[in-house]
Structure 1
Amino acid sequence: MQKNYDFKQVEKNMQSFWKENNIYRFDVDSKDVIYSIDTPPPTVSGSLHIGHIFSYTQAEMIARFKRMQGYNVFYPFGFDDNGLPTERLVEKDEDIIAKNLPRSEFIMKCIATTEKYEREFKDLWHSLGFSVDWSLQYETISPIVQRISQKSFIRLFENGKAYMKESPVLWCTECQTSIAQAELETIDKDTAFNYIAFRVGEENLIVATTRPELLYGCVCLFVNPEDGRYKAYVGKSAIVPLYNYPVPILYDEKVSIEKGTGVVMCATFGDSTDVEWYERHKLPYRKIMLPDGRIDESVPFIGGLKVMPARKQIIKLLADNGLLTDSKNIIHTVAAHERCGKEIEIISSKQWYIDILSNKKLFLEAADKINWYPAHMKNRYTLWVENLKWDWCISRQRYFGVPIPVWYCKGCGKAILASEDRLPVNPLETSPNMPCACGCNEFIPESSVFDTWATSSVTPQINAKWCEENDISNKLLPMSMRTQAHEIIRTWAFYTIVKSLYHTGEIPWKDIMICGFVLAKKGEKISKSKRNSEQSPAVLIENHSADVIRYWAANSKLGTDTFFSLEELSIAKRFITKLWNASKFAISHLYDIDLSAEIDLMPVDRWIIERCRQTTFEAAKLLNQYEIGSARHEIDDFFWKDLCDYYLEIVKERLYQPEKHGYKERQSAQYALYYCMLNILKLYAIYVPHITEYIYQEFFKRNERSISVHKLCWENITAIDSEIIMFGEALKKIVADTRKYKSENALSMKAEIEEVMVKSDTKFIEMFKQTVHDIRACCKAKEIKIIQQE
């Protein structure tokens, strides 16, 4: 082995070796137990950053671990390359607006862009040494995935779970599409409470509102039944200022007595509470907002204006007419679209939905059947389900997505769904192959596409080739594990559970592994939009190595957020150097090892082997709970302290000087060293696969029967010899106390001392007697005295 480790050459060579030898191929015909991973297909919305590396690498380590536990690992990779995020990327990269181009031309640009980014993504995962079976790759815009997605919709429709209706819908005027509740985020905005005088008989009733531009949409005023100030007004009518039409005054418990004046204007629609009141009290609908964010032309005074100019105009008119009694600046929490950050509106629109509100109990029960790691993440899911207010809107008024396979009869308006044998279909390019039941042969195609989550929610079915010719659902479903970040519990986790329960009656996976975020600084998530990632992952790998990045990624408890800075990588670099040097030292003493020889192991050699076994046991236990970081720290503790700091120092002279210590004694140390170094490589192989593979290929492969260290299995440990572990701890204390003595007395560690006195428990006396020469050599002592201690 060369003096210094050259990661730039080694990592590329090892990646080529794995690819050429199909090291990570899933064997569909194998009788071994399958461990299947539902990996998040990254959204094609721009370049990846260190936060993506953090979560994806943690999951990849689990794939490697399970493979080394003897499982037949199904580890696919997909790309979520359809939908709004991709469209926004194309608009930004090409400096275009989708609606200004012919639909077909824009879709072609989307396809070209996704192909470019997917190549970059794949190259990055390759450079990190991901043990993916790339023959299982999928794209959510591909024909087979479109077919599975459309099939899912058709079956939900046939089972009464998917439906279309015209009703209030969450709407993004920036993206000009409907959105789902799960795509909302809350933001705080500086705004004002405007105090407006409504007329009730001869009196003024003051209403505070942040949305005076919706005044023409006012359909009711509400007060709390416990608010004694307004009991006399309930049942009467109020005259809407400027517009002079009457609206009823009603009770509703949801009104906050403390907020504003305690009188709330219900307009169609200002927020989700307005929608709730509109439906509960059967109020009329007054159209105000258009899909492009302008006020409808029919609205007096402000028709055709955007929201902010309309607001200013109405406030001016109210003030000029003595109808604005006060205005107070406040910080107001509003709902925004997570994709673009724009405040959402609620408009009436015809959309497709999946029924989720009627099955909350089913979805909550499903969560109890899934193992959540960490366990507290289940609370986020539970709170989300319990607080759902809307059915899942799955239609989007966009272009680059999976088409909704529906036509509408021109004669009777009935929705005609495509037959499954024709999927995938694009209604804009084809027609139903039969007339409508009413006899009409003319149809209007559905132009909307599915929300991207409507497709990515069937990733278990995509992986299993659900209802396709090569369907392996019976082998894969439910999948073993889903890995994902915690911010998409409400979307990806929830929607996948919904689809799986509706299609199979079963949970989609047994375990769910929830990863944390990488933070640039306290409270600030690293993201593409914030431009706060120090360097791109490709540059980090090029400059520091994939194994260094991977080792860093395995540093924290599962589900917790972590910080990233370049200084963080120094620990990983020191580790790589330590592993290289320890392996070089070991191999230099193992060139003549005879693994077939019968060996009577010395106590210190038995101890280090047992510590290695104990470490394997503890690490496996933690990794089975997806605690990648805690398991790595367990292995680090053994490697750095017990093996390198103590054992190698204790047996060094025995290895170098068999003529002094005995050849059988050297063989004992060789055996222990070979065992520990091989198992250290196996333990670290899931974290730093390149350097461990290279060291294995350099020496250990000649004695083992495996083509790759990654094809080896960890030892299955069922019991630990606690007595020899205790002996080792006592031995370590002797060495540590001697080092402390030399340090306190300003002596070199190589300085010879007169005597080391060993006070030992009766049961360890014989072991210490057999270890005298090792202690003398390690401590540089002339005399070793062993004293029996009760």
Structure 2
Amino acid sequence: MQKNYDFKQAEKEMQNFWKENSIYSFDIENQSEIYSIDTPPPTVSGSLHIGHIFSYAQAEMIARFKRMQGYNVFYPFGFDDNGLPTERLVEKDEGIIAKDLPRSEFIKKCAATSAKYEKEFKDLWQSLGFSVDWSLQYETINPMVQRISQKSFIKFLKDGKAYMKESPVLWCSECQTSIAQAELETIEKDTTFNYVKFKAAEEELIVATTRPELLYGCVCLFVNPKDDRYKRYIGKNAVVPLYDYEIPILADDKVDMDKGTGAVMCATFGDSADAEWCEKYKLPYRKVILPDGKIDESVPLVGGLKILAARRQIIGLLSENGFLLDSQNITHSVAVHERCGREIEILPSKQWYIDILTNKEMFLKAADEINWYPDYMKNRYVSWVENLKWDWCISRQRYFGVPFPIWYCKNCGEVIVASEKMLPVNPLEAKPDKPCYCGCDEFVPESSVFDTWATSSVTPQINAKWDEKDDISNRLLPMSLRTQAHEIIRTWAFYTIVKSLYHTGQIPWKDIMVCGFVLAKKGEKISKSKSNSELSPKLLIENHSADAIRYWAANSKLGTDTFFSIEELGIAKRFITKLWNASKFSISHLQDIKLDAEVNLMPVDRWIIERCKQTAIDARKLLDQYEIGPARHEIDDFFWKDFCDNYLEIVKERLYQPEKHGYKERRSAQYALYYCMLNILKLYAIYVPHITEYIYQEFFRQNEGGISLHKLCWEPEKTVDDEIILFGEKLKGIIAETRKYKSENALSMKTEIEEIVITADDRFIELFKQTINDVKACCRAEKIKIIQ
């Protein structure tokens, strides 16, 4: 082995070796138990950052761990390249607006941009040494995935789970599409609370509102029936200021008596409460806001203005005309679209929905059937399901997505569903293969596309090739593991559970592993849209090594957020140097090892072997709970303290000087050294696959025979010899005391000392007698005295 480890040469060499030898291919013919991973397909919405590395690397380590436990690992990778995120990326990269281009031209640009970014993503994952079977790769816009997604919708339609209705819908005026409740984020925003004078029964009734621009859309005032201030108004009418028309005053228990004045303006539509009240009390709809975020031209005083301009205009007019009592600056919570940050509106629109509200109990029960890691993440899911208020709106008024496989009969309006043999189908480019039952053969194609979550929520079915000719659902579903970030529990986790229960009647996966975020500074998430993502993973790997990045990524408890700075990689690089040097030392003393020779192990050698077994057992327990960080710390503790700091120092002289210590004694040390070094490589293989494989290929492969370290299994020990472990702890204490004595007396560690006195229990006397020469050599002692 060369003096220093060259990661640039070794990592590329190992990656080529794995690829050429198909080390990570899933074997469908293999009858070993399958361990399948539902990997998050990264959204094609920008370049990857260190936060992606953190969570994806943790999941990849589990794939390697399960492979080394003897499982037939199914580890695919996909790319979520359809839908709004990709469209917005194209608009940003190309400096264009989708609606300004012909639909077909914009879709071509989306496809080209997706292909470019997907290559970058794949190159990055491969440079990190991901043990993915790339033959299982999918894209959410590819024909097979489109077919599965369209089949999913058609099945929902036949089962009565999908329906279309015209009703108030969450709307993003920036992206100009409907959105689902799960796509909302809540932010704090500065605004004004305006106290407006309505006239009711010849009196002034003060109403506080943050949305005076919706005054023309006001259809009712609500008060709480228990509010003594307003009981006399209930059932009467009020006059809307500036617009001078009458509206009813009604009572509803949902009115918060302590907010504002306790009298609430209901407009179409200011918020979800307005939409609920309008439906409950059959109130009329008055159009104010258009899908593009402007006020309808027909609205007096503010028609044609954008929302904020209209708000300023109305406030000014209310003030001028004596209708504004007060205007207070406040900070309040508003719902925004997570993709663009624009405040959402609620507009009436005809959309497709999946019924989820009637089956909330079923979705909550499913949470109990899934193992959540860490378990407290289940609470986030439960809270989300319990607080659902809307069915899942799955239609989007966009372009680059999976089309709805439907048309509408021009004559009778009947929904015409594509036949299965037509799938995947784009109704804008094809006609149904038979006329409507009314005899009409003219159709209006559905131009909306599926919400991207409507497709990515069938990733288990995509992986299993559900209802395709090579369907392996019976071997793959439910999958073993879903790995994902905690922010998309409400979307990806929930929607996948919904679709799996509806389509298969079972949960989509047995375990869910929820990773944390990487933060740039306290409380701030690193993201593609923030300037703090400038630390390019590509450059970090090129400058510091993939193994160093991976080692850093395995530092924390599952589900917890962590911080990143380049200085963090210093610990990882010191570890890699230590592993190289320990291996180089070990291998230099193993060139003449005879593995088939009989060996009588010395106590110290028995101890280090048992500690190695104990470490594997403890690490396995943690990794079975997906606790990658704590497992790595267990292995680190053994490697640095027991193996390097103690064992190598104890046996060094025995290895170098067999003529002094005995050739049988040297063989004992060689056996322990070989066993521990090989198993240390196995333990670390999931974290730092390149250097461990490189060392294995340098020496161990010729003895072990296995083509790759990553094809070997961890030792299956279940128990250890506790007595020899206790002996080792006592021995470590003696060495530590000797080092401390020398340090406190300003002596070199090489200084000879006259005598070491060991006090030991009966059970350890014989073990220490056999270890006298090792202790003498390690501690530079002339004499060892053992006292019972």
TM-score range, shorter chain: over 0.9
1:442-472 per-residue CA deviation (whole Å, 9 max, x = no partner) reads: 1000000000000000000000000000000
Q: Does 1:633 align with 2:633?
A: yes
Which amino acid counterpart does residue 56 of structure 2 have in structure 1? Y
Select between 276-285 and 756-765 the one with higher mean Cα deviation: 276-285
Could you tell me which residue of structure 1 aligns to residue 321 of structure 2? 321
Q: Helix, strand or coil: the match of 2:617?
A: helix
What is the deviation of 1:533?
A: 2.6
Q: Distance in 1 between matches of 2:495 and 2:419?
A: 24
Select between 276-285 and 518-527 the one with higher mean Cα deviation: 276-285
What is the deviation of 1:288?
A: 1.2
Unaligned regions of 5+ residues in structure 2, if any? none
Could you tell me which residue of structure 1 aligns to residue 382 of structure 2? 382
Q: Distance in 2 between matches of 1:726 and 1:351?
A: 69
Q: Helix, strand or coil: the match of 2:601?
A: coil
What is the deviation of 1:227?
A: 1.5
Q: Distance in 1 between matches of 2:295 and 2:473?
A: 50
Could you tell me which residue of structure 2 aligns to residue 113 of structure 1? 113
Could you tell me which residue of structure 2 aligns to residue 392 of structure 1? 392
What is the deviation of 1:534?
A: 4.8
Q: Helix, strand or coil: the match of 1:2?
A: coil
Give the 5 Å matches for 1:85-96. Answer: 85-96=85-96
Which amino acid counterpart does residue 361 of structure 1 have in structure 2? E
Q: Helix, strand or coil: the match of 1:389?
A: coil
Is the Cα contact below 8 Å between 1:207 and 1:263 reproduced in 2? Answer: yes
Could you tell me which residue of structure 1 aligns to residue 345 of structure 2? 345
Which amino acid counterpart does residue 523 of structure 1 have in structure 2? G
What is the deviation of 1:226?
A: 2.2
1:522-555 per-residue CA deviation (whole Å, 9 max, x = no partner) reads: 0011111111035100000000000000000000
Could you tell me which residue of structure 1 aligns to residue 508 of structure 2? 508
What is the deviation of 1:304?
A: 1.4
Could you tell me which residue of structure 2 aligns to residue 726 of structure 1? 726
Q: Does 1:552 align with 2:565?
A: no
Q: Helix, strand or coil: the match of 2:704?
A: coil
Give the 5 Å matches for 1:16-415. Answer: 16-415=16-415
What is the deviation of 1:299?
A: 1.2
Could you tell me which residue of structure 2 aligns to residue 642 of structure 1? 642
Which amino acid counterpart does residue 577 of structure 1 have in structure 2? T
Q: Helix, strand or coil: the match of 1:514?
A: strand
Select between 248-257 and 659-668 the one with higher mean Cα deviation: 248-257
Q: Distance in 2 between matches of 1:303 and 1:533?
A: 42
Which amino acid counterpart does residue 724 of structure 1 have in structure 2? I
Q: Helix, strand or coil: the match of 1:82?
A: coil
Identical pairs, percent? 79
Is the Cα contact below 8 Å between 1:654 and 1:661 reproduced in 2? Answer: yes
Could you tell me which residue of structure 2 aligns to residue 710 of structure 1? 710
Could you tell me which residue of structure 2 aligns to residue 599 of structure 1? 599
Which amino acid counterpart does residue 18 of structure 1 have in structure 2? W
Q: Distance in 1 between matches of 2:449 and 2:277?
A: 30
Q: Distance in 2 between matches of 1:530 and 1:610?
A: 49
Q: Distance in 2 between matches of 1:32 and 1:145?
A: 28
1:732-759 per-residue CA deviation (whole Å, 9 max, x = no partner) reads: 0000000000000000000000000000
Is the Cα contact below 8 Å between 1:534 and 1:565 reproduced in 2? Answer: no
What is the deviation of 1:435?
A: 1.0
Which amino acid counterpart does residue 32 of structure 2 have in structure 1? D
1:5-26 per-residue CA deviation (whole Å, 9 max, x = no partner) reads: 0000000000000000000000
Q: Distance in 2 between matches of 1:226 and 1:419?
A: 57
Q: Distance in 1 between matches of 2:434 and 2:352?
A: 23
Structure 1 stretches of at least 4 aligned residues deviating more than 3 Å after TM superposition:
none
Q: Helix, strand or coil: the match of 1:163?
A: strand
Q: Distance in 1 between matches of 2:527 and 2:773?
A: 58
Q: Distance in 1 between matches of 2:35 and 2:359?
A: 30
Could you tell me which residue of structure 2 aligns to residue 433 of structure 1? 433
Q: Helix, strand or coil: the match of 1:232?
A: helix
What is the deviation of 1:717?
A: 1.7
Could you tell me which residue of structure 1 aligns to residue 4 of structure 2? 4
Q: Helix, strand or coil: the match of 1:41?
A: coil
Which amino acid counterpart does residue 455 of structure 2 have in structure 1? T
Is the Cα contact below 8 Å between 1:37 and 1:76 reproduced in 2? Answer: yes
1:403-426 per-residue CA deviation (whole Å, 9 max, x = no partner) reads: 011100111111111111110000
1:591-645 per-residue CA deviation (whole Å, 9 max, x = no partner) reads: 0000001111011000000000000000000000000000000000000000000
Select between 247-256 and 609-618 the one with higher mean Cα deviation: 247-256
What is the deviation of 1:296?
A: 1.3
Could you tell me which residue of structure 1 aligns to residue 454 of structure 2? 454
Q: Distance in 1 between matches of 2:736 and 2:315?
A: 79
What is the deviation of 1:687?
A: 0.2
Q: Distance in 1 between matches of 2:389 and 2:44?
A: 29
Could you tell me which residue of structure 2 aligns to residue 770 of structure 1? 770
Q: Helix, strand or coil: the match of 1:229?
A: coil
Could you tell me which residue of structure 1 aligns to residue 736 of structure 2? 736
Could you tell me which residue of structure 2 aligns to residue 652 of structure 1? 652
Give the 5 Å matches for 1:477-516. Answer: 477-516=477-516
Unaligned regions of 5+ residues in structure 1, if any? none
What is the deviation of 1:340?
A: 0.3
What is the deviation of 1:390?
A: 0.4
Could you tell me which residue of structure 2 aligns to residue 532 of structure 1? 532
Q: Distance in 1 between matches of 2:47 and 2:534?
A: 14
Could you tell me which residue of structure 1 aligns to residue 520 of structure 2? 520
Q: Distance in 1 between matches of 2:8 and 2:253?
A: 67
Is the Cα contact below 8 Å between 1:295 and 1:307 reproduced in 2? Answer: yes
Which amino acid counterpart does residue 151 of structure 1 have in structure 2? K
What is the deviation of 1:110?
A: 0.5
Aligned residues: 788
Q: Distance in 2 between matches of 1:403 and 1:534?
A: 36
Q: Distance in 1 between matches of 2:113 and 2:432?
A: 32
Q: Distance in 1 between matches of 2:216 and 2:628?
A: 58
What is the deviation of 1:140?
A: 0.3
Q: Distance in 1 between matches of 2:313 and 2:633?
A: 63
Is the Cα contact below 8 Å between 1:163 and 1:352 reproduced in 2? Answer: yes
Which amino acid counterpart does residue 674 of structure 1 have in structure 2? Y
Give the 5 Å matches for 1:653-732. Answer: 653-732=653-732
Could you tell me which residue of structure 2 aligns to residue 761 of structure 1? 761
Q: Helix, strand or coil: the match of 2:643?
A: helix
Q: Distance in 1 between matches of 2:198 and 2:439?
A: 54
1:283-340 per-residue CA deviation (whole Å, 9 max, x = no partner) reads: 2211111100111122111111110111111112211211111111101211000000
Which amino acid counterpart does residue 131 of structure 2 have in structure 1? S
Q: Distance in 2 between matches of 1:186 and 1:443?
A: 41
Q: Helix, strand or coil: the match of 2:167?
A: strand
Is the Cα contact below 8 Å between 1:51 and 1:518 reproduced in 2? Answer: yes
What is the deviation of 1:438?
A: 1.4
Q: Distance in 1 between matches of 2:448 and 2:200?
A: 45
What is the deviation of 1:705?
A: 2.2
1:82-114 per-residue CA deviation (whole Å, 9 max, x = no partner) reads: 000000000000000000000000000011101
Select between 730-739 and 268-277 the one with higher mean Cα deviation: 268-277
1:64-95 per-residue CA deviation (whole Å, 9 max, x = no partner) reads: 00000000000000000000000000000000
Could you tell me which residue of structure 1 aligns to residue 612 of structure 2? 612
Q: Distance in 1 between matches of 2:642 and 2:550?
A: 24
Check 1:737–1:534 CA distance in 2 against 1; reply closer, same or farther (3 A cut). farther
Q: Helix, strand or coil: the match of 1:228?
A: coil
Select between 216-225 and 461-470 the one with higher mean Cα deviation: 216-225
Select between 667-676 and 290-299 the one with higher mean Cα deviation: 290-299
Which amino acid counterpart does residue 16 of structure 2 have in structure 1? S
